[in-house]
Amino acid sequence: MPGEESRTKVTIFTSSYRIKGYIDLIPGARVTDYMAEAKDFIAVTDAEVWELQLGGRQIIAAPFLNVSRDHIQVIAPGT
44 has pLDDT over 60? yes
19-56 per-residue burial string, b: 16 or more CB within 10 A, e: under 16: bbbbbebeeeeeeeebeeeeeeebebeebbbbeeeeee
Whole-model pTM?
Answer: 0.87
Is the distance from CB of 42 to CB of 66 less than 8 angstroms? yes
Average of per-residue pLDDT across 4-15: 89
The larger pLDDT score, comparing residue 61 to residue 54, is at 61
Domain 4-77 class? mainly beta
pLDDT at residue 26 tops 90: no
The predicted structure's pLDDT at residue 54: 86
11 neighbors 75 (Cβ within 8 angstroms)? yes
For the chain, which residues make up each domain, given as ranges?
Answer: 4-77
Query: What is the average pLDDT across 64-73?
Result: 96
Per-residue pLDDT for 5 more than 80?
Answer: no
